[in-house]
Structure 1
């Protein structure tokens, strides 16, 4: 009976996600297939509706997203590696400044304890920061809420920025609609193998963000080799966006706006600050390297790897540049966060 109820709750969440996506598309909302489900499911969760995120679909969708990201990697991109140096050099400095600002917000404005404030402020993956923060004695509920709110707000504000200030609007993949029959059976088999073998190989090699990074590498390789030429079908990209948007919104289940309005407000202040810092660093990179501000801004925006990579694909930006920057960001945060926290604790 409980299993049936879970399926019903997941079905309700996906129904809300699809309908919200259609509404967003009809309203010509920027990135409607992710932003619509995200807003719709979040609203339903806050109203206390019995929604459950399609978490079992996420492990399937994420490798597919990795394959989609790899399809945007071309041999010509390797000639642009020199333009990545400044971005990656400034990345640790950006992380220190952004995380430092966010930590001060959670400590001084939110009055969080030091452990909770530290792991809530780190712009890393939600699951990783939740595990590390919980092990260190932090408030797991507040840490989870801080990161869920950060991802939601970053996506919303980045899409708003692209739509209002840069005039970029895209519904599927930034490449025009690609039908399912545009790929041959061989194309589907090759890309399917990239998804499965990429995850397995990346996990065995202990690569960061294995579910995305592995398939992306193999997909990029087969596209560069010329084994697959066609762009990914738009319906797959749309489906991935609906699932991801619904999962993000469903993270707020069990928390009413009245109960958590203060914590969300604090998270909003921290997120606004990190995005403002991201704009400043992106401006520097864009001016010095002569690259589009939109591209540098996506690379520094402190959202989730999967969400920001999918957003990059949808907006037609440089997938390899943005994805690699986010993979390195999350790797740095996961690798040094515990050490930095211990050093802070030792201060008199």
Structure 2
């Protein structure tokens, strides 16, 4: 049973986890530490419900932060990425679709649950779609939370370990509370609200990022968010991410979660290989390409890009395209692949 009384100690526990990770010098410390601490709390003490408004505000801060980094030359930097971005999204969805079949056998899951668990898209959106098709909603949400956490925990330290220059390239700007920042945050709030009213996926991240990017790229706003604000946003995202790992689901489906972790790591390795190939072939920054094609969440991967000095705006373009494509196509792919194969199998049985 979820009890509001557990939220405050969970927030304190998550904040402490983020602080310890920060003191240890880990990349993306506040998010990683908070997510791990939140997962430990919800698995060992009690499940928690993070208010949706808090999660939205964390997304808004991250979206604003990315938007403020966009300069007027962002369009000219797109170049060949305009072709690769949709192809990368299609390839990632295709790999997820292919892995859903072995997932049903290894994890002993029904087809619908395996399908919506393996399509790399929004956690809430995939859980909602899973519910419409009679799948295990709790399992799908847990699988996607695990997917994002695996990528967030593995990629930043891996990038730093193979590229020591990444740590030196990270911006040391402490940021400041200024009038332009207040204007950016206010514009972001209106954009998030408007995007949510229109039913835009990841509205409180995508809307603020797009509007603030227009203001920043047009030279209308020049600001930098204080580190403290970004740290609080990371704690909010980490708290929400860890809270999605449900104790009852882990106890009920230990084999499925183990198989899911293997499938998701396979997916991540395949995408990382493709990203490295593109980086070498097109002489692009390897960290940027790896994070662009990674199977983590949009906000989390953009934060990771900032943490390792990669091109956050480019990573956002890739991640948002994949997320939007997954949200839009997951149900259609389900009908064509799983429901279609079931009908075909029924016809064959009738013929026999």
TM-score, normalised via structure 2 length = 0.89
Deviation at 1:122, TM superposition (A): 0.6
- Counterparts in 2 of 1:168 and 1:31: CA distance versus 1, 3 Å: farther
Secondary structure of 1:326's counterpart equals helix
- Counterparts in 2 of 1:14 and 1:170: CA distance versus 1, 3 Å: farther
Q: Which residue of structure 2 aligns with residue 332 of structure 1? A: 325
- Counterparts in 2 of 1:100 and 1:278: CA distance versus 1, 3 Å: same
Following the alignment from structure 2 to structure 1, what is the Cα–Cα distance between the partners of residues 130 and 249? Answer: 23
Deviation at 1:251, TM superposition (A): 1.5
Q: Say yes or no: does 1:174 pair with 2:174.
A: no
Residues 9-20 of structure 1 mapped to structure 2, 5 A cutoff? 9-20=6-17
Are the counterparts in 1 of residues 272 and 290 from structure 2 also a CA contact under 8 Å? yes
Q: Which residue of structure 2 aligns with residue 134 of structure 1? A: 131
Deviation at 1:253, TM superposition (A): 4.2
Following the alignment from structure 1 to structure 2, what is the Cα–Cα distance between the partners of residues 346 and 256? Answer: 29
Give the stretch that moved more between structures: 88-97 or 303-312.
Answer: 88-97
Residues 11-90 of structure 1 mapped to structure 2, 5 A cutoff? 11-49=8-46, 51-90=48-87
Are the counterparts in 1 of residues 47 and 243 from structure 2 also a CA contact under 8 Å? no
Q: Which residue of structure 1 aligns with residue 268 of structure 2? A: 275
Residues 244-255 of structure 1 mapped to structure 2, 5 A cutoff? 244-255=237-248
Query: How many residues matched?
Result: 341
Following the alignment from structure 1 to structure 2, what is the Cα–Cα distance between the partners of residues 13 and 299? Answer: 31
Are the counterparts in 1 of residues 120 and 323 from structure 2 also a CA contact under 8 Å? yes
CA displacement, residues 9-57 of structure 1 (integer Å, 9 cap, x when unaligned): 1111111111111111222222211111111121222223465435431
Deviation at 1:121, TM superposition (A): 0.9
Deviation at 1:68, TM superposition (A): 0.8
CA displacement, residues 260-317 of structure 1 (integer Å, 9 cap, x when unaligned): 4323212210111111111122022212221111101101111112222222233322
Q: Which residue of structure 1 aligns with residue 297 of structure 2? A: 304
Deviation at 1:156, TM superposition (A): 0.9
TM-score, normalised via structure 1 length = 0.90
Residues 176-215 of structure 1 mapped to structure 2, 5 A cutoff? 176-179=172-175, 182-184=176-178, 186-203=179-196, 206-215=199-208
Secondary structure of 2:220's counterpart equals coil
Q: Say yes or no: does 1:143 pair with 2:140.
A: yes
Following the alignment from structure 1 to structure 2, what is the Cα–Cα distance between the partners of residues 105 and 152? Answer: 22
CA displacement, residues 214-243 of structure 1 (integer Å, 9 cap, x when unaligned): 111221122123233232211111111111
Alignment RMSD, CA only?
Answer: 2.4
Q: Which residue of structure 2 aligns with residue 285 of structure 1? A: 278
Following the alignment from structure 1 to structure 2, what is the Cα–Cα distance between the partners of residues 53 and 93? Answer: 32
Following the alignment from structure 2 to structure 1, what is the Cα–Cα distance between the partners of residues 255 and 289? Answer: 32
Deviation at 1:177, TM superposition (A): 4.3
- Counterparts in 2 of 1:170 and 1:41: CA distance versus 1, 3 Å: farther
Following the alignment from structure 2 to structure 1, what is the Cα–Cα distance between the partners of residues 249 and 330? Answer: 31
Secondary structure of 1:332's counterpart equals helix
CA displacement, residues 79-106 of structure 1 (integer Å, 9 cap, x when unaligned): 1111313422431442244213431332
Secondary structure of 2:13's counterpart equals helix
